Chain A
């Protein structure tokens, strides 16, 4: 009897101990930091996070500064696009063609049937096929330019992300993409704690399966209109950004992502 009691107590305490140890917040330090990560970095971007030699450091920092400056200006393209687009006549067929382009790159199942249907419906109003072709070419070019620019934004906005499972460039690429999609509501007060955390479940092609605001109950509390506005703007940003620029490999690492939207710095500036 006593023996089984001792066994029971021992096993239960082990279980409790293990549960406590296994809670995620106990693990501030990255568990496994194998040098494989840096190898991965080189494979993807040809850039490394190995500390620079003292002589080279100066030059590299200068370059980085320039890059950061450039990054600021590179935030502009979505704006210019927003200004340009209303001017041209949005042709329904273009939409269809656009989707075909996407199709080559991504998951074909993603195109919802009702969207396709809508395009078919609109097809009746086709105006000029040559014009459409020109527009498609233009769209392709724009996409290529955009892609190039995004690829350039890599080593800026440094934050060690070995623990996260994404390389710096992968994380930066994602961040830069979302920067471009997020219209920050400028009327928000700068002195309130307005951090919106969104958890995303992603498909392999970067489209969003599920998005969830982690403090969503705060949205409907009285006096939290600003939080609600910010949360909605953040959700809009991730939806507009679809498909996200995710790495081609390591789906298990990034199939769940948490984005922390914090506009405080911007609103203060």
Chain B
């Protein structure tokens, strides 16, 4: 009996040995951008000509936009087309995976397009080359003049599939277009696609404009301009072009922003050297005072859930960032670092607040958690401010002024973007000098 038991126990321990699966922890990888091949879209031979569009080059043009979008993220490395081994007309059917792997591509985008009956039909496929399988495929039908947007929407879908987070390519940026010398600066409201294309000017430049902001549906813009020589908050409908002054305040109003539901505008109202934060309901026009303090409270920004407002105030002496409930209660200071903090902007993800910091004559754009911890300064320069978030909370756009001229007597203002990791700082293309950018949400959402 004992023997049997011993044998049984031994046997089980021996079996155990086979259970000892070798485990290896992989905690590092390469940080190089993902190599992706974007094959030009194949143009169907049945395609008809459409006014103003070079149909033969359309496939190439769309893939070029996708490529530029991806290169701009810093997360992808679009491979050179000269190295491609398959022509678009074959590739869009089923790629020869092993050939694409030869050029070290890990993902491949193929597609085709057709214009008929004044409609543009675009199909695209995203292939995982290592797994030799299709991972996304979509088709769109739209008016041919919308082809740039189609390229951006495709970019968004691929970005989403490969990174797990929403894209930000089918978006627009509104900004203040500047021209002329410093003492006679002309400032106009301008709007463009996030890649710098399709710039349109919304105001003529007779009056100074500042701090434009989109509403959540991207139809309306609120900004500051002058009304009877007094700075006032305006509301502009982008589609119709109608403008109106917001509220009947007996003083100057500035630094406006929409609430996340788009029903309210939060702004600063200044009178007799004191400035406080107010909200105005756009339907009922009811004005509500949110802060009541003898200091200067300004630059309010709602949290994405609408429950909190971040703002800056000099109530403690130097200008610092505070967070309060959206009814004005429970005001809490969140910045305690050396220097002056301003322009807090809540991330669309809700986890971070972007800000401008001034210290020892330098300007920094940074991010921190909503309780003020984990401050990270992303970029430093002689003069830069006004960060605005991409809709996925991954990238910040801001403006930077740099000295120009042989003696540094002039200056230029340009838009820049930076990833929240602090990498991938890029200048955005604008037709003129530009300041005060505001990023829209996704247009196709």
User: A residues engaging B (CB < 8 A)?
Assistant: 14, 18, 21-22, 24, 27, 30-32, 75-76, 78-79, 81-83, 85-90, 92, 95, 115, 118, 122, 159, 161, 163-166, 171, 174-175, 178-188, 199, 225-230, 232, 234-237, 239-240, 253-254, 256-266
- Complex Cα distance, B160 from A90, in Å, reads 30
Which residues on A sit within 8 Å (CB–CB) of B12?
Answer: 18, 21-22
Whether A256 contacts B21 by the Cβ 8 Å rule is yes
Whether B32 contacts A179 by the Cβ 8 Å rule is no
Which residues on B sit within 8 Å (CB–CB) of A32?
Answer: 17
Q: Knowing A118-B96, A118-B98 touch, does A258 contact B29 (C-beta < 8 A)? A: no
- Complex Cα distance, B67 from A112, in Å, reads 33
Which residues on B sit within 8 Å (CB–CB) of A85?
Answer: 83, 102-104
**What 6 new A-B contacts, CB under 8 Å, besides A78-B32, A79-B30, A85-B104?**
A14-B8, A24-B19, A90-B102, A185-B75, A236-B130, A264-B27
Whether B26 contacts A179 by the Cβ 8 Å rule is yes
Whether A164 contacts B130 by the Cβ 8 Å rule is no
Q: How far is the CB of B11 from chain A (nearest CB, A)?
A: 9
Among B9, B27, B83, B130, the residue within 8 A (CB) of A263 is B27
Q: Knowing A21-B12, A226-B164, A228-B164 touch, does A262 contact B26 (C-beta < 8 A)? A: yes
Whether A86 contacts B104 by the Cβ 8 Å rule is yes
The contact sample of 19 A-B pairs, CB cut-off 8 A, is A27-B19, A31-B13, A75-B28, A79-B32, A87-B80, A90-B102, A92-B99, A118-B96, A159-B25, A179-B26, A183-B33, A186-B33, A186-B74, A188-B164, A234-B26, A237-B26, A239-B131, A240-B130, A262-B27
Enumerate B100-147 residues with CB–CB distance to A below 8 Å.
101-104, 106, 128, 130-131, 135
Q: Knowing A18-B8, A81-B104, A90-B83 touch, does A31 contact B26 (C-beta < 8 A)? A: no
State whether the Cβ of B77 lies closer than 8 Å to any Cβ in chain A.
yes
Closest to B98 in A: A115
Q: Knowing A14-B5, A18-B12, A27-B16 touch, does A182 contact B29 (C-beta < 8 A)? A: yes
Whether A225 contacts B8 by the Cβ 8 Å rule is no
Among A24, A92, A262, the residue within 8 A (CB) of B20 is A24
Q: How far is the CB of A252 from chain B (nearest CB, A)?
A: 8
Q: Knowing A165-B22, A183-B106 touch, does A225 contact B29 (C-beta < 8 A)? A: no
- Complex Cα distance, B104 from A164, in Å, reads 33
Whether B128 contacts A232 by the Cβ 8 Å rule is yes
State whether the Cβ of B15 lies closer than 8 Å to any Cβ in chain A.
yes
Which residues on B sit within 8 Å (CB–CB) of A171?
Answer: 24
Q: How far is the CB of B292 from chain A (nearest CB, A)?
A: 37
Whether A266 contacts B21 by the Cβ 8 Å rule is no
User: B residues engaging A (CB < 8 A)?
Assistant: 5, 8-9, 12-13, 15-17, 19-35, 74-75, 77, 79-80, 82-83, 85, 96, 98-99, 101-104, 106, 128, 130-131, 135, 160, 162-165, 394, 421
Whether B164 contacts A187 by the Cβ 8 Å rule is yes
Which residues on B sit within 8 Å (CB–CB) of A174?
Answer: 24
- Complex Cα distance, B28 from A86, in Å, reads 25
Q: Knowing A90-B102, A187-B163, A225-B164 touch, does A75 contact B20 (C-beta < 8 A)? A: no
Which residues on B sit within 8 Å (CB–CB) of A262?
Answer: 25-27
Would you list the 3 A-B pairs with minimal beta carbon distance, nearest first? A182-B29, A187-B163, A229-B164
- Complex Cα distance, B29 from A122, in Å, reads 34
Whether A260 contacts B83 by the Cβ 8 Å rule is no
Q: Knowing A82-B77, A187-B164, A225-B164 touch, does A256 contact B31 (C-beta < 8 A)? A: no
Which residues on B sit within 8 Å (CB–CB) of A259?
Answer: 23-24, 26
Which residues on B sit within 8 Å (CB–CB) of A185?
Answer: 34, 75, 162-164
Whether A82 contacts B35 by the Cβ 8 Å rule is yes
Whether A184 contacts B29 by the Cβ 8 Å rule is yes
Whether B21 contacts A86 by the Cβ 8 Å rule is no
Closest to A166 in B: B22
Whether B83 contacts A182 by the Cβ 8 Å rule is no
Whether A182 contacts B98 by the Cβ 8 Å rule is no
Whether A256 contacts B22 by the Cβ 8 Å rule is yes
* Residue among B19, B23, B83, B131 facing the most chain A CB atoms (10 A cut-off): B23
Q: Knowing A90-B102, A95-B102, A226-B164 touch, does A254 contact B29 (C-beta < 8 A)? A: no
Q: Knowing A163-B20, A236-B106 touch, does A18 contact B26 (C-beta < 8 A)? A: no
Whether A178 contacts B26 by the Cβ 8 Å rule is yes
